[in-house]
Amino acid sequence: MTDDLSPAAHAQAIDEARQRLLVFVRQCPDDVWRSAPVHGDPRTVGIIADHVAHAYEYLAGWIGDVAEGKEVALSTELVDDLNAGHASGAADITREQVADHLRSSGDALIALISGLGAAQLDLDDGRIRRLAAIAARHADGHRTEFEATPASPA
């Protein structure tokens, strides 16, 4: 993936997507909040929305490590394990908790990316740039899933 976005533009894209998800979280009806709208995924809307906040944390960790020149081993299995661990502990999460988590973890990620130099985005074959783009798409991806999929009881 190549793009010509600056660190500030990546940070802005993450913030804008996060803000759209926060609006959805605040306006989400109770029955939808407790539903599992994604076919084949038993997680509720609340758990998935908080998963985005959780993902901001591990993405920030990986970005920080790459920026410091550390080796970062990423795999689908690692991400699946992180997601499963999160889901098992977030069953009764409230809108307020999710909104707070999205704000705090998003703020930290946005500050980290905003503080990078343009050349740092391309470290490790552009890994930071790719992770920043993933962070920007993640909130919108799940939000549009919620909006497009009829809710089913969890």
**CATH number of the domain where residue 72 is located:** 1.20.120.450
The predicted model gives 10-34 an average pLDDT of 95
Q: How confident is the model at residue 58 (pLDDT cuts 50, 70, 90)?
A: very high
Instruction: Name the residue range of residue 69's domain.
Output: 7-148
pLDDT at 147: 85
154 domain-assigned: no
pLDDT band at residue 150 using 50, 70 and 90 as cut-offs: low
The total number of structural domains that make up the chain = 1
In a domain, 1, yes or no: no
How would residue 47 be classed by pLDDT, with cut points 50, 70 and 90?
A: very high
Rounded to two decimals, the pTM is 0.91
Residue 141 and residue 134: Cα distance in Å, rounded? Answer: 10
Percent of the chain with pLDDT over 90: 75
| Res 13 pLDDT > 80 | yes
127 — phi, psi (to 5°)? Answer: -60, -40
**Contact between 74 and 128 (Cβ < 8 Å):** no
Q: What is the mean pLDDT of residues 51-65?
A: 96
Res. 4: pLDDT tops 60: yes
User: What is the token pair recorded at 124?
Assistant: 């490790």
